[in-house]
Amino acid sequence: MSPAPFEVESEQREDGIRAVTVRGELDMNTAPELEAELDRIPLDGATAVMLDLSACEFIDSTGIALIVRAWQRLDGEGKGRFVLCCINHQVRRLLKITGVESSISMHEQREDALAELQTPV
């Protein structure tokens, strides 16, 4: 069984949240496509980003490093907010093992991730 083709979808929602969805395998070959999309997001205090990894089938260290850099750029520097949505147990387990889950807010359900970003700080 071959992996699903890699795809990045980005939606600017009416509530101001940028929802970025990843499908397929996030690895050293596909990470530049996600990085390019994340780099297009403007940095301002109102920026709210949800990275949805629910359809991400695999993630390697390159993908994890990219997620951490995006979080540092947005949430870590106080220029916005960044949350993850991930129901894939393999991907979630890797994010937990590497410590990402303890630093970046992560939700299993998309609605919960969006609700966190809709809540005023």
What would the pLDDT profile of 106-117 be if each residue is shown by its tens digit? 999 999 999 999
Q: Quick one: CA torsion of 78, 49, 104, 89, rounded to 10 degrees? A: 180
Q: Percentage of the chain with pLDDT > 90?
A: 72
pTM metric for this prediction: 0.92
Give the chain's end-to-end CA distance (angstroms, integer): 44
Contacts of residue 39, Cβ cutoff 8 Å, sequence gap at least 6: none
Tokens describing residue 115: 């609700």
Give DSSP secondary structure letters for 48-73. Answer: EEEEEEEEEEEE-HHHHHHHHHHHII
- Map out the domains of the chain with their CATH numbers: 7-118 (3.30.750.24)
Question: Per-residue pLDDT tens for 24-39?
Answer: 999 999 999 999 999 8
At 1, is the pLDDT very low, low, confident or very high (cuts 50, 70, 90)? low
